[in-house]
Structure 1
Amino acid sequence: MSQPVLALGCAVVTAAGCVWYLPALADLRAGADRPLSRRTAALACLTGWGTLAAVALVLLVTTGWGAPGAVVAAGGSATAALWTGAAVRRAGERREAARQWAQLPHGPLPVAAHRSRGAVTALVVAGPAAGVAAVTALLPALGHGGGHGPATAVVPAAVVVVPAAAVCLCLAVAARPTRAARPTRAARPTRAARPTAADRGRHPG
């Protein structure tokens, strides 16, 4: 593969990688609002994508493979070192957060709160899957319906309505465990009943 073609490929991949390095740039600009591990990981992300962009430029201005190889080696080493540092800091931050949570006077989360996440994930995945299955089942009927009339008009409407109903039903069922997992407000203490005149007469003083 010639160097200009490879440079064009590196440039296209770098442009497509904006979904990664633009959020990383936002994390760096946030400064102290982001944890140190996240900022370090963002710097590693920018370093890696910057290395790819630099390789594209070097491939355009040089004829050998030594300079692009050196850029890849330097950028890859820096990216790996930054990623390793971010992982170490993230582990330390998690241990510190766990230690701080352990000092708070609270009990562990209920098991239902953890199960509800899995139920929501399963239902959200099952909804589109049921919609795709319904469309697959109804497409043959749509293809063979060559006539005209109310029966033929019902099939295209069913192709739209049945998958949408399946998705909405699964999302509605998935929303129920989420609301059930929320902590309820503590019941307000009831006021003590005031003694009546008969009680005062029965208990003088």
Structure 2
Amino acid sequence: MSQPVLALGTAAVTAAGSVWYLPALADLRAGDDRPASRRTGAVACLSGWSTAAAVAVLLLLSDGWWPPCAAALAGATATAGLWARAAVHRRRGTREAARLWAQLGWSGPPGRSRGASVVVALVLTGSLLAATAAATAAVVGVLRDHGRDPVPLGTAAAVPLTLVALALAAAVAVALTAARRARHREYGAPARTVR
């Protein structure tokens, strides 16, 4: 792919990212009205999107790949560091809020269920398995082009889709079970009787 085409694509994605960096700008303008974790997260967001814009400009202006790649690496490193700092601020703020509520005698809302984490894990695992299967299908396609035909190409292409469908079905089942359990906790499930 040529650099101008990649620059155009990066610029289009950066322009579409305004749904993230415009609220981040609003958080920064609010100043001390926002918690430190949110302000640091906003700086991280702006850092990431400004890196994408700088890479788009460097792709247009430079002949080689070294300047855009160096800018992308430096920006990604700075953004990751800022996100980590925002996470530390968020954790401290959560602990401080829990301590203050405990002093008032309230334990706070019930903790989140593990259902959301399980759903994310299932979707990510299914995606990784699908990516592995897709890479295998690509290798099978290359082998098929070279005269070897170990697996039919249709079967190799169906494997990633099946893996994604199974992961999504498992994630939906876990999410529905977690939602049902939360409803029972909220409204008080009737006591089970043993007969």
TM-score range, shorter chain: 0.5 to 0.7
What amino acid does structure 1 have at the position aligned with 2:63?
A: T
Q: Name 2:21's counterpart in structure 1.
A: 21
Q: How many residues align?
A: 115
TM-score by length of 1: 0.53
Unaligned 5+ runs, structure 2: 113-182, 188-195
- For residues 159-188 of structure 1, the C-alpha deviation after alignment (integer angstroms, 9 at most, x for no partner) is xxxxxxxxxxxxxxxxxx9xxx9xxxxxxx
CA distance in 1 between partners of 2:41 and 2:108 (Å): 30
1:36, distance to aligned residue in structure 2 (A): 0.3
Per the alignment, residue 90 of structure 2 pairs with: 90
Distance 1:58 1:84, change over 3 A: same
Match of 2:102 in 1: 102
Summarize deviations over 1:86-144 as a string: whole Å, max 9, x none: 001100100000000000034655x8xx9xxxxxxxxxxxxxxxxxxxxxxxxxxxxxx
Letter in 1 for 2:42: A
C-alpha change, 1:107 and 1:37, in structure 2 (3 Å) is closer
- 1:69 is matched with 69
CA distance in structure 2 between the partners assigned to 1:107 and 1:10 by the alignment: 47
- Could you say which residue in structure 2 is the equivalent of 1:56? 56
CA drift at 1:61: 0.5
**For 2:107 and 2:69, how far apart are their aligned partners in 1?**
55
Secondary structure in 2 matching 1:63: coil
Per the alignment, residue 11 of structure 2 pairs with 11
**Identity among equivalent pairs (%):** 64
Counterpart CA distance in 1 for 2:7 and 2:52 is 9
Paired with 1:76 and 1:15, the residues of 2 have a C-alpha distance of 18
Distance 2:77 2:106 in 1: 44
Give the AA of the match of 2:95. Answer: R
Distance 2:11 2:78 in 1: 20
Task: Please give the TM-score of this superposition, normalised by the length of structure 2.
Answer: 0.55
SS class of match (1:94): helix
Residues 11 and 96 of structure 1: CA distance in aligned 2, closer, same or farther (over 3 Å): same
- Secondary structure of the equivalent of 2:64? coil
| Alpha-carbon distance change, 100 to 12 in structure 1, aligned in 2, over 3 angstroms | same
